Amino acid sequence: MKGYIHVYTGNGKGKTTAALGLALRAVGAGKKVYFAQFVKGKIYSEIAAINRYIPEITVKQYGRGCFIVDEPTSEDIQAAKEGLEEASVVIRSGKYDVVVLDEATIALHYKLFSVEELIAVLREKPEETEIVITGRYAPGELIEIADLVTEMKEIKHYYTKGIPARKGIEY
């Protein structure tokens, strides 16, 4: 079966959640999943659940456990570049049927690696490997090479009323 490149982008909630849903569906169909998280480094509830219950999904985080507020540090850049290199090896190996590059577009936004570097990795994918890329600010070059692009658009969100992120819902 031919694999395609998906991009889930936009300012609305649900990009990572959609990728997790696809990963769960893939596991249900007997597929192996590699879930690479850029920028993120904390064990959020979904990662805890995967680690506890779903060994068919391998999770690797390439963030430092804190959110980039202004400018990325050299450590942020190093972690992302190492992550992209490791994801490249994973993709080329053909060991996984689905590879998720969660928040890869945020890594692009913060210039942790370039869109050209990401596209070079995508061009190396085996024919049958499905790739999912998530995050806000997907650049046009990435949208152009993707086979499926979904934009999550925020219409209304309770955080605008000062409601903080809730465990089990937002993290």
Q: Where are the domains of the chain?
A: 5-155
The second-level CATH assignment, the architecture, of 5-155 is 3-Layer(aba) Sandwich (3.40)
Looking at this protein, which amino acid is placed at residue 170? E
Q: How many CA atoms lie within 13 A of 107 on its CB side?
A: 32
pLDDT of residue 123: 97
Proportion of the chain above pLDDT 90, given as a percent: 90
* pLDDT tens per residue, range 111-159: 999 999 999 999 999 999 999 999 999 999 999 999 999 999 999 999 8
The reported pTM is 0.94
In the predicted model, is pLDDT for residue 67 greater than 90? no
